[in-house]
Amino acid sequence: MQGIRRTFGVAQRRVRALVRDDLLEVLLAVAKQRPMKAARDKALLLVGFAGAFRRSELVALAVEDVSPHSHGLELLLRRSKTDQEGMGRTVFIPMAKAAERCPVIALRAWLEAAGIGSGPLFRAVNRHDQVSARGMTGQSVALIVKSAVAAAKGADAARDVAGHSLRAGFVTEAAITGMATATIMGQTGHKSLEMVMRYVRPVEKRRIASLL
């Protein structure tokens, strides 16, 4: 096994992180879709980024898990990859400074347009732009991310992204803005500092000053 690792390497596949500017560009392409799909995809992308959610966490959310606050929303994650016993944790989604990129406003607009008052937060939308009663799958999240990036940046760019690109984008953007590592971990729910540092270290390396 060591020989195989030496031959082929052990580097894990890294999906491209969708940072803030990438996301804003992608949202412009999303807005050109049919109304219901555009509303859902905008809400999903913004909430997924702002909450640093895994795709499985996004599709598990229900209306009953949403608690409104004066300056944002609190979402209850009943179970996640690192919480197999279902202890649960909450994630706060703050309102953005600009309405057009606010995850809170986008989510409210989607729920109102779709007439969703209970059950799955994010649902399938068929080719006739009709909203299904059933929730989405994690694979659907990945396909939405890829499709949106393809529309905004082209097919080549879409090959490097996945559902995890939203979560990776939050951590990377947070590191760029200087957010404390402990605060980042509080939002992502990471148990291991090492996992977060995989995204933070490259940002810190790019800040090194020239000695010449």
190 is catalytic: yes
Q: Which two tokens stand for residue 79?
A: 């179970």
Please tell me the distance from the alpha carbon of residue 15 to that of residue 32, in angstroms, as a whole number. 25
69 is catalytic: no
139 CB burial (10 A radius; 0-12, 13-18, 19+): exposed
167 is catalytic: yes
Please tell me the distance from the alpha carbon of residue 145 to that of residue 122, in angstroms, as a whole number. 14
Q: Where are the beta strands (DSSP E) in 34-168?
A: 66-69, 72-77, 89-94, 123-125, 131-135
Please tell me the distance from the alpha carbon of residue 195 to that of residue 207, in angstroms, as a whole number. 20
Q: Which of 160, 116, 163, 167 is nearest to 140 (CA)?
A: 163
Q: Which of 14, 34, 81, 134 is catalytic?
A: 81
146 is catalytic: no
13 is catalytic: no
Q: Which of 16, 42, 146, 190 is catalytic?
A: 190
Instruction: Identify whether the C-beta of residue 55 lies closer than 8 Å to the C-beta of residue 138.
Output: yes
Q: Which of 16, 55, 146, 199 is catalytic?
A: 199
199 is catalytic: yes
Q: Which of 16, 42, 54, 123 is catalytic?
A: 54
Indicate left, alpha or beta for 86 from its phi (over 0: left) and psi (-120 to 50: alpha). left
User: Hey, which residues are catalytic here?
Assistant: 54, 81, 164, 167, 190, 199
